[in-house]
Chains A and B, each alone.
Chain A
């Protein structure tokens, strides 16, 4: 399956909310869509394209915006497909994929607590890796690690 095939299959259903389908080495493509179309894209990918297996959900903090990406796998074509959508940093929420792929449950919990992206209608959005009541979101760029002890440049004459 090529990116054009994905574009052809998704285009009529999603319409203008489908931003682009890019080529991505090692996968069938990278579908970028607007977050309002999330559930429609999930259903289309799951039901029509046959990507029954959700492998991974993750988030990237691009400071001004945040990206959520999903990796799905189809047993028919033996290919991965990337889905990705952008959410603004000050209003970071997107529809949960759990109703379509129950395996998204833990991945979304993890993404929520690490990258601070809220998944609407998630069945059980609790802390997973971090302790309950932990207020920080470690994978944001604004969360700085402790500075490593500065490696002073020590030379013979200093």
Chain B
């Protein structure tokens, strides 16, 4: 049989973004793959070096367009460490609220895209409809539906509007009922099980070797979740379980994500209760003095350096909806960060593509990559 290379991408329904998967096929079988990324490279790390600490937040929303608030949280945690700032506790709870709602939004969006790859058309719209409720909530307290710009160094921009928590609880109740529908539409159908069982298998050992994290790793039976293992923010005070499944295949990833949705709802109920009981400030009192008017003309050059502003290194890692994201901010005492480096979980998950794609059918590429949950904005940065 003769083999041939086909380019799946950069414009292809499977890619969910702008990247290219080169596949060598033999009939319908995959013999080799070579992912090519970089079509969406905007140089966010470079641009950040020319921006004030707060202005970088606008870039974070564009990093991953389905998990903007999670990336804001990641950057803010790291920048605050580099600048030696302590946010108030209520701000931390608001950030966790945002991150968990973002997880729900991201996973529901993933569900929609994933079933669309399998040819299930109507659950796609159910997913988009349910995500819209989460976006409505975001709009009501951050003021935007996709690019939130909500968090600030030292806290968050504003407190919740009145009546938010009741509305949020109603939305959570509605969502929990919808998760049952999702299960019926996918796991309940024989065709889904026939297509997804034992597909795209990546065992725990390979996951660790190739740096794969997030739901893909947990679906292989490894119980690693930074929210539990290395509690950042206020996750240490919240009760939840880590979703783990056996099987390491597409169905297992589906199970892990659906369970994470339910755990997120559980976390959110606790956070909402806490927020109801503990009013307080959402912005740190003691900000570095120059953060107040960071944008105005600074006068003689280098005055900040002259003032001996403390330098610092900030490193943070969070469990983003797609996996383990890290940020490293180097503060050399200027008004801009000296260097910002982000670690995108999908970047690593995608680099292992050869391990979980070769040997399956061409028709299996969309569901397998769908279960990886590719978001190119954060791969290319």
Contact = CB atoms under 8 A, between A and B. Distances in A.
A102 B229 CA distance: 24
Interface in A120-158: 127-131, 138-139, 143, 145, 148, 153
A105 to B, nearest CB: 6
Contact of A75 (B222, B316, B317, B343): B222
Given A26-B81, A58-B341, A145-B50, A129 B211 contact: no
A128 B211 contact: no
Contacts of A148: 50
Interface SS, B side: mixed
A54 B47 CA distance: 26
Contacts of B348: 55, 103, 106-107
A71 B38 contact: no
Contact of A129 (B222, B313, B339, B380): B380
Nearest to B295: A151
Contacts of B45: 114, 139
Interface stretch (B131-139, B147-155, B324-332, B358-366): B324-332
A78 B211 contact: no
Interface in B164-213: 208-213
B129 interface: no
A82 B328 CA distance: 11
B315 A53 contact: no
A101 B37 contact: no
Interface string A62-97: 000000010100010011101000000000000000
Contact of B230 (A78, A129, A138): A78
A71 B316 contact: no
Nearest to B206: A102
Contacts of A127: 38
Closest 4 CB pairs of A and B: A103-B211, A129-B38, A56-B343, A106-B351
Interface of B: 37-38, 41, 43, 45-47, 50, 81, 208-213, 222, 224, 229-230, 297, 313, 315-317, 324, 326, 328, 330, 338-339, 341, 343, 347-348, 351-352, 380
Given A53-B208, A106-B348, 17 more contacts: A24-B313, A24-B315, A26-B316, A26-B317, A53-B213, A55-B326, A55-B348, A60-B341, A71-B343, A75-B208, A114-B45, A128-B38, A129-B41, A130-B41, A139-B46, A145-B47, A145-B50
